[in-house]
Chain A
Amino acid sequence: MLKIDNLHASVENKAILKGLDLTVGPGEVHAIMGPNGSGKSTLGHVLAGRPGYSVTAGSAQLLGQDLLTLDTEERAHLGLFLAYQYPVEIPGVSNMEFLKASVDAVREHRNEAALDSVTFMKQAREACKAVDLDAAFLKRGVNEGFSGGEKKRNELMQMMLLAPKLCIMDETDSGLDIDALQVVANGINAMRSGERSFILVTHYQRLLNFIKPDRVHVLSGGRIVKSGDHSLALELEERGYAWLEDVA
């Protein structure tokens, strides 16, 4: 699914990722943990092609295609989805228009017919329901005035409608109460399949109680410094990151 080799990337001439390797197989769930500022969000942004984030060395392939030479929208068409740690507010653009434009663009790329608006509305309402978001949010500006938790659920709703191949969830669990966390976890679990992989960026082992990861990695100083199974997350919760080599 995803193969990252020796990835180096910088933001505003500051090196952030310094030789990151990561391979995620189809259907797998990987958790990435690590101290604040270690580059977890940067990894997601680099893979999504955010302006200002430049790759200085290394490679990243999604489904055998070189991600790094594609435009941002082409990466989405290929099946990449990044759920933002801090989703962007776009006043004036309705959530509904935005979702329909996204879904149509992605479907078009898969050679699927555009959904008629009735079918789309139905799907959008179902997705809202699945993430416990009132359908009234569809009419609002994209993330405009949403609370932190509502933004996270809006990201998840988009993910459900777009049915991507690789989902990177950047601290989707941060700031959620236990009920909301359960909703998010259920949503993710419902989407798991042999053809879809997940990278869960999280600080909290509690999310991993709901979603069993295949692998757990520690990102520190711009590299994966340790990998293991679920027990690594438990150990990190217990001991923090200081015992690991390379911790900044």
Chain B
Amino acid sequence: MSDFMQQALAAAARTAPAWLEPVQARGRDAWSKTALPTRKTEAWKYTSLQPLQQTFSAPATESARSPLDDIPLPALDGPTLVFADGHYRAELSHGELPAGLNLVRFADANSEQAARIAAALGSALQPGRHVFAPLNDATLADGVFLEVAANAHIDTPVHIAWLTTGQNESISITQRLLVCLAENSSATLVESFANTATGGTAFTNGITELLLARGAQLNHYRLHLEQGDAVHIGGVHARQEADSLLNGFHLALGSALKRIDLVVDHQGSGAHCALDGLYLPRGTETVDYHTCIEHAVPHCTSQERFRGIIADEATAVFNGRIHIHPQAQKTRAELSNKNLLTSNKAEINTKPELEIYADDVQCAHGATVAQLDPLALHYLRTRGVPREEAEVMLSYGFINELVEAIAQPAVQAFLKPLLARRFARDARLTRHIL
């Protein structure tokens, strides 16, 4: 294994609580046997790991003190945890924990909590599904454990912000979140990833594990707002027991490289997941979403709607795998991926990947690639709307349906202007959208 992470590995080993040592050891062992994917690796065919061709160090604690005021984040009124460059920032974190919600950092876990974390950690990660997972284990020094008690309904959203700040050297950050929803509980979780614009490359290796027990319901938002040189390789690995419900909303603004794997494992009959996603790379940015829905048992449903707008010379990849196992009869799986290319040099590689081994199933999938509709553009202009504004309206219109479907009002209120302005040179051009 290449040694670009040597320093981060060593630093993690020094700072982790003792009970994480077996996790780290396991990770180091697996990572040492891992070969970095190349363009010949099918799952990495369109995405280059070139941005990792440098040496990363673990960020120093004191360097994580830089001001974070200029990082836009959703304003949510529930419990909020803020991490900067992998370090917890108590002074920016706040909120009371409602009854039934447990929110504890790995570094703070008492022995009983540590035992529960250790037992569940990694259990949603299927071997081989995530090349960088061993590295995440190996460098794991702190993380967050979110636990909801049986039958508890947590109305206020839990917000976890993972920030990276401008540093002079390239740094690597390990993010880890373990979510356990006990039977018939419900919660809303918002994960924001954002950065300040200066300094060296920040490489985030992020893993969120979602364990939904029977009848549990989770509304999960994962907002990748990092820009510029940021590299993020990570994913969400969910395991759903019977009758559980996972609603996911995923957003990736572009940056040097984002590769996000979303893996949902339906393990109990009657489970349902709905994943919406938006990716908006521009410049020379790359965003790569790989989704994988495992239907292992009968009577589960899944629905995915991903839309991408790819501008300039940016590249996007969407790979949607649906795997219906032989015993998973009566599965209903839907996948829709629509892409808008706003320049001739923009690139999208979209591929549905269906593996269906059961016969009594409904599986619908579709992928489209289009440019701005010239007739729609003309129609708007015949009504006096200037061309530039009409283009903004049509671009935003392409993702509007998914933005309007965001159930959490504060997240929607935060994202709407952020997304609309993404397409506009100045505020005048978005005044009719906002």
B75 at the interface (CB under 8 A from A): no
Return the contact of B387 from the options A71, A88, A104 (Cβ within 8 A): A71
A48 at the interface (CB under 8 A from B): yes
Tell me the smallest distance from the CB of A19 to a CB of chain B, in Å.
25
Complex contact B394–A93 (CB within 8 A): yes
Give the interface segment out of A55-63, A76-84, A198-206, A231-239.
A76-84
Tell me the smallest distance from the CB of A89 to a CB of chain B, in Å.
8
Complex contact B433–A76 (CB within 8 A): no
Contact pattern, A 140-176, Cβ under 8 Å of B = 1, otherwise 0: 0110000000000000001000100000000000000
Complex contact A72–B397 (CB within 8 A): no
Interface centre among A71, A87, A101, A109, by most chain B C-beta atoms within 10 angstroms, is: A101
B400 at the interface (CB under 8 A from A): yes
B44 at the interface (CB under 8 A from A): no
A92 at the interface (CB under 8 A from B): yes
Q: Which residue of A lies closest to B432 (CB)?
A: A101
**When chains A and B are docked, how far (Å) is the Cα of A90 from the Cα of B383?**
14
Interface centre among B375, B380, B394, B399, by most chain A C-beta atoms within 10 angstroms, is: B380
Tell me the smallest distance from the CB of A238 to a CB of chain B, in Å.
35
A105 at the interface (CB under 8 A from B): yes
Complex contact A104–B432 (CB within 8 A): yes
**When chains A and B are docked, how far (Å) is the Cα of A81 from the Cα of B393?**
20
Using A92-B400, A97-B433, A105-B385 as known contacts, say yes or no to A72 and B394 having CB atoms under 8 A apart: no
Interface bin, chain A: 20 to 34
A246 at the interface (CB under 8 A from B): no
B62 at the interface (CB under 8 A from A): no
Contact pattern, A 33-73, Cβ under 8 Å of B = 1, otherwise 0: 00000000000000011110000000000000000000111
Chain A residues closer than 8 Å to B393, beta-carbon distance: 93, 97-98, 101
Q: Which residue of B lies closest to A161 (CB)?
A: B383
Interface residues in B100-121 by Cβ distance below 8 A to A read none
Contact pattern, B 393-404, Cβ under 8 Å of A = 1, otherwise 0: 110111111000
Return the contact of A88 from the options B376, B386, B399, B401 (Cβ within 8 A): B376
Chain B residues closer than 8 Å to A97, beta-carbon distance: 393, 432-433
Chain B residues closer than 8 Å to A49, beta-carbon distance: 378, 382
Tell me the smallest distance from the CB of B390 to a CB of chain A, in Å.
8
A100 at the interface (CB under 8 A from B): yes
Complex contact B397–A73 (CB within 8 A): no
Complex contact B382–A90 (CB within 8 A): no
Using A50-B378, A104-B432 as known contacts, say yes or no to A91 and B384 having CB atoms under 8 A apart: no
A85 at the interface (CB under 8 A from B): no
Interface residues in A181-225 by Cβ distance below 8 A to B read none
Chain A residues closer than 8 Å to B389, beta-carbon distance: 101, 105
Tell me the smallest distance from the CB of B376 to a CB of chain A, in Å.
5
A31 at the interface (CB under 8 A from B): no
Return the contact of B383 from the options A71, A91, A162 (Cβ within 8 A): A162
Chain B residues closer than 8 Å to A48, beta-carbon distance: 378, 382
A106 at the interface (CB under 8 A from B): yes
Complex contact A102–B397 (CB within 8 A): no
**When chains A and B are docked, how far (Å) is the Cα of A142 from the Cα of B397?**
10
Chain A residues closer than 8 Å to B399, beta-carbon distance: 92
B414 at the interface (CB under 8 A from A): no
B379 at the interface (CB under 8 A from A): yes
Tell me the smallest distance from the CB of B338 to a CB of chain A, in Å.
11
Interface size for B (C-beta < 8 A) is: 25
Using A93-B394, A93-B397 as known contacts, say yes or no to A82 and B384 having CB atoms under 8 A apart: no
Chain A residues closer than 8 Å to B250, beta-carbon distance: none
Chain A residues closer than 8 Å to B432, beta-carbon distance: 97-98, 100-101, 104
**When chains A and B are docked, how far (Å) is the Cα of A100 from the Cα of B374?**
21
Contact pattern, B 49-75, Cβ under 8 Å of A = 1, otherwise 0: 000000000000000000000000000
Complex contact B401–A91 (CB within 8 A): yes
Using A97-B393, A97-B432, A101-B432 as known contacts, say yes or no to A90 and B380 having CB atoms under 8 A apart: yes
**When chains A and B are docked, how far (Å) is the Cα of A75 from the Cα of B381?**
9
Complex contact B383–A102 (CB within 8 A): yes
Complex contact A72–B378 (CB within 8 A): yes
**When chains A and B are docked, how far (Å) is the Cα of A72 from the Cα of B401?**
28
Tell me the smallest distance from the CB of A230 to a CB of chain B, in Å.
29
Chain A residues closer than 8 Å to B386, beta-carbon distance: 73, 105
**When chains A and B are docked, how far (Å) is the Cα of A102 from the Cα of B399?**
21
Chain B residues closer than 8 Å to A109, beta-carbon distance: 384
Tell me the smallest distance from the CB of B128 to a CB of chain A, in Å.
39
Tell me the smallest distance from the CB of B422 to a CB of chain A, in Å.
15
Complex contact A88–B433 (CB within 8 A): no
Complex contact B397–A162 (CB within 8 A): no
Complex contact B379–A90 (CB within 8 A): yes
Tell me the smallest distance from the CB of A134 to a CB of chain B, in Å.
20
**When chains A and B are docked, how far (Å) is the Cα of A109 from the Cα of B397?**
25
**When chains A and B are docked, how far (Å) is the Cα of A73 from the Cα of B390?**
10
Chain B residues closer than 8 Å to A75, beta-carbon distance: 382
Chain A residues closer than 8 Å to B380, beta-carbon distance: 90, 93, 98, 101-102
**When chains A and B are docked, how far (Å) is the Cα of A80 from the Cα of B210?**
57
Contact pattern, A 102-116, Cβ under 8 Å of B = 1, otherwise 0: 101110010000000
Tell me the smallest distance from the CB of B371 to a CB of chain A, in Å.
13
**When chains A and B are docked, how far (Å) is the Cα of A162 from the Cα of B393?**
19
**When chains A and B are docked, how far (Å) is the Cα of A91 from the Cα of B432?**
16
Complex contact A92–B384 (CB within 8 A): no
**When chains A and B are docked, how far (Å) is the Cα of A71 from the Cα of B398?**
25
Complex contact B394–A105 (CB within 8 A): no
**When chains A and B are docked, how far (Å) is the Cα of A178 from the Cα of B376?**
30
Tell me the smallest distance from the CB of A161 to a CB of chain B, in Å.
9
Interface centre among A75, A109, A142, by most chain B C-beta atoms within 10 angstroms, is: A142
Question: 4 nearest interchain CB pairs?
Answer: A92-B397, A76-B384, A102-B383, A93-B397
13 additional A-B pairs beyond A76-B382, A93-B400, beta carbons within 8 Å, are A48-B378, A49-B378, A71-B381, A73-B384, A76-B381, A88-B375, A90-B380, A92-B401, A93-B397, A100-B432, A101-B393, A102-B384, A158-B383
